[in-house]
Structure 1
Amino acid sequence: MSTWTVPGLDDAAADKVRTMLQERLVALIDLQLTLKHIHWNVVGPSFIGVHEMLDPQTDAVREMTDAAAERIATLGGEPVGTPGFVSSTRSWEEYTVKRAAVQTHLEALNAVYDGVIGDHRKVLLEVEELDPISHDMLVEQTEQLELFQWFVRAHLANEDGTLDPKPAA
């Protein structure tokens, strides 16, 4: 635990927020790497559209990781983003799709976004009263992540706008 935090935030609240932000940092680092992996390994007739869609998403998620890490440091914590730590502390399975068609990768990426966004939303509710600054950061990140998922879902949608398979709730 840190010996200091920002003015107006007690140590116990800061510690809770730092812990939740560290979990989000791990998820964002993993997402950033997954997006780049898909960028390199997606193939098929609509390859180029997806390939080019993923670089701005990767860049934006990289900025999110930086914001989360800097917020942890601002609150007196030590953000950890090493590969071993990310791998050993994440609560989800490794992304296993290698070189594959657009549809296969986008279905898998949609599921990844379901998890990241769902967890971001849970943390939003917990952080809201503890630290409005961290809450605002997470709101902005969630808004952008939801937009990126919409881009993915637009590629997967049927003519009637439905998704098949249906995304996890």
Structure 2
Amino acid sequence: MATKSSSIQTFTVPGLSAQESTTVVSALQDRLFAYTDLHLVLKHVHWNVVGPNFIGVHEMLDPQVDVVRGYADAVAERIATMGGTPVGTPGALVDARSWDDYDIGKDTAQAHLGALDLVYSGVIEDNRSAIDVVGEVDPVTEDLLIGQTGELEQFHWFIRAHLENAGGHLATEGATTEQEAADAARGSRRTTRKATKAARKKS
């Protein structure tokens, strides 16, 4: 969902038209909302992860929080550089976002990692769409988003490495919601299927 600035843009960087700048600023504002949401979700998981793998996941996430928070700052400053007004208020984020709130509370490392697999997938897919949009008019912003997306893909790999088996399959394969992914990663879905099969045999 594109978000319009609350103020009129009176200037932009040299070489871009007002219309081109508006297109880029709109795409960047969406990324600003996504990054703000992502670093808060990562911190939420950092606080609420439990279980045998607690410390490894707890400590893995804080550097990701810091980097993503830095992305939000870089994107906001790019918006301002182009004459736009970056919007960073919580109410605006909630009104503009196209995704649901992260709803996993205190849970095991595997459950949170399963949910984060889908979170990262969504952010990266939207980043790639934004790269396509801005790349048509502004290679400087395109370069900014390409660099950020590459590092996000590496963070996503860190998450997925915990969910992958020796055959290269993810525990979250086929999950379409964060709750489904969390259940699959902790093994709940597998347990439920076994219980269902056992019940069928008894009947």
Q: TM-score range by the shorter chain?
A: over 0.9
Change in Cα spacing, 1:167 to 1:11, as seen in structure 2 (3 Å) is farther
* Match for residue 28 of structure 1 among 35, 41, 62: 35
The residue aligned with 2:45 is 38
State the SS of the aligned residue for 1:156: coil
Q: Distance in 1 between matches of 2:165 and 2:92?
A: 39
Cα offset, 1:165, TM superposition: 2.1
Change in Cα spacing, 1:131 to 1:167, as seen in structure 2 (3 Å) is farther
- Number of residue pairs matched by the alignment: 169
Matched, 1:93 2:100: yes
Query: TM-score with structure 2 length normalisation?
Result: 0.81
Seq. identity, %:
54
Instruction: List gaps (5 residues or longer) in structure 2.
Output: 1-7, 177-203
Q: State the one-letter code of the partner of 1:158.
A: N
Matched, 1:12 2:19: yes
Matched, 1:62 2:69: yes
The residue aligned with 1:50 is 57
Q: State the one-letter code of the partner of 2:127.
A: H
* Match for residue 133 of structure 1 among 119, 140, 152: 140
State the SS of the aligned residue for 2:132: helix
Query: TM-score with structure 1 length normalisation?
Result: 0.97
Tell whether the 8 Å contact from 1:111 to 1:167 is kept in structure 2 after alignment. Answer: no
State the SS of the aligned residue for 2:58: helix
Give 1 or 2 for the bigger CA radius of gyration: 2
What is the Cα-based RMSD across aligned positions, in Å? 1.2
The residue aligned with 1:118 is 125
Q: Distance in 2 between matches of 1:87 and 1:110?
A: 21
Q: State the one-letter code of the partner of 1:160.
A: G
Matched, 1:82 2:122: no
User: Once the two structures are superposed, what CA deviation does each residue of 1:76-131 show, in whole Å capped at 9, x if it has no partner?
Assistant: 00000111111111110000000000111011111000100000001111111211
Q: Distance in 1 between matches of 2:125 and 2:174?
A: 12
User: Once the two structures are superposed, what CA deviation does each residue of 1:2-39 show, in whole Å capped at 9, x if it has no partner?
Assistant: 11000001100000100010001000000000000000
The residue aligned with 1:159 is 166
State the SS of the aligned residue for 1:6: coil
Comparing both chains, which one has the higher relative contact order based on Cα–Cα distances under 8 Å and sequence gaps of 6 or more? 1
Q: Distance in 2 between matches of 1:89 and 1:19?
A: 12
Tell whether the 8 Å contact from 1:28 to 1:61 is kept in structure 2 after alignment. Answer: yes
Instruction: List gaps (5 residues or longer) in structure 1.
Output: none
